[in-house]
Amino acid sequence: MAEFRKTILLAEGPFHDLAERTFRHILHCDEEKGRTPSGGIHKFHQTDLAIKTFADQEYLPRITRNVRGRDIFLFFPFVKNGKYEPNRFFELRTIVDACLRASASEITLVAPHLPYLRQDRRSIDKKTGEPLREPVSARVVADAIVSMGIKRLITVTPHFKQFEACFPGTFKYEGLDARVEFDHHMLTVLPKPHERSLWSADLGGGERIKEYARDTGIPFGGLCDKYRPTAGAIERIRVYKEDNITIEGTKVTFVDDMFATCGTIKASAAELIKRGANPQVVAYAVHGILSKGIRPLLDANIKPIITESIPLEWEATEIVPLHRLIGGAIYSTLTGHSISGSLFNYERFKDTL
């Protein structure tokens, strides 16, 4: 019985490094706070989850460690063969099934990025105003996760906060916010933050940007509003600035939840530069989908800063780590500490670094 360890971290290939650093951070939290997770936690080993892909591309995961009665935290990336792959839910299901058939006690999915969350409602035909016959794919994702037998989800900055409501009340949901890590980066790494202003590239991000301004003291500059005649196309950008902000000469810093095609960020940056802003623009995004690659941002003189939620390698891109955020959430889950108290409040979060 003395050898029993309740918690095991498993990770698929692209997240091996994140899981290793998360494990070390959990041990750091244990040393700092002095409350060891009940039953302990196994040292992370990459080989605990082995993946075989057959010549016909069928996917076979195998758990190589005894997981009977253990709680599993499964790190799963929506990346395959070095490319963003949003349709990996069947492969995820096979790993979960392997854990359940090996009598794991409870499975927590650690998925910093979840695809399809932009599809949170049915679209409206812009010409007729009629609702289109489309799925609400965000709800489909939630239903798929629950149906697999997963009992808890740890994700980072979901596209819409109401995503939590897609799950039943008995499901354990932790929607972490990368804001505290971006706050820390802005104040400790970004040159001359006091000369900057924070902007949202769309109207929906206004409240998010005000949270960053509150945490960092960097002024809230304003909002850009895009008009899309069709999906993926931008016809014009309107700028709504705060009364105390002068656009001319300001160093614009955008913050968004994701980079997809990057058309909105590029158009908004170009409009502010046209109005006299400093041409060297910085843009933060939690999830770097970058469906057209990183070059469109670099060619537009925009410095991209993203997290490791989608583990792809991009040139000239600064990566903000997530192991402290995820490790803190797992440690709090295992020991009963407050997650909101230390992982949503920057003043408290920086004291844990």
Active-site annotation, residues:
226
Give the C-alpha separation, 97 to 148, whole Å. 7
Give the C-alpha separation, 75 to 73, whole Å. 6
Cα distances (Å, whole numbers) of residue 276 to 46, 195, 197, 206, 250: 51, 15, 13, 22, 8
Burial class (CB in 10 A: 0-12, 13-18, 19+), 297: buried
Sheet order of strands, 152-156 included: 7-11, 71-75, 106-110, 152-156, 172-176
**Exposure class string for 264-280: b at 16+ Cβ within 10 A, else e:** bbbbbbbbbbeeebbee
% helix / strand / coil in the chain, to the nearest 5?
Answer: 35, 25, 40
Give the C-alpha separation, 248 to 187, whole Å. 23
Torsion region of 76: left, alpha or beta (phi above 0 gives left; psi -120 to 50 gives alpha): beta
Of 330, 318, 256, the closest CA to residue 25 belongs to 330
- Spacing of C-alpha 82 from chain mean position: 18
- CB atoms under 10 Å from CB of 316, counted, come to 10
Please work out, in degrees rounded to the nearest 5, the angle formed at the alpha carbon of residue 226 by the alpha carbons of 203 and 269: 90
- CB atoms under 10 Å from CB of 282, counted, come to 20
β-pair partners for 53: 59
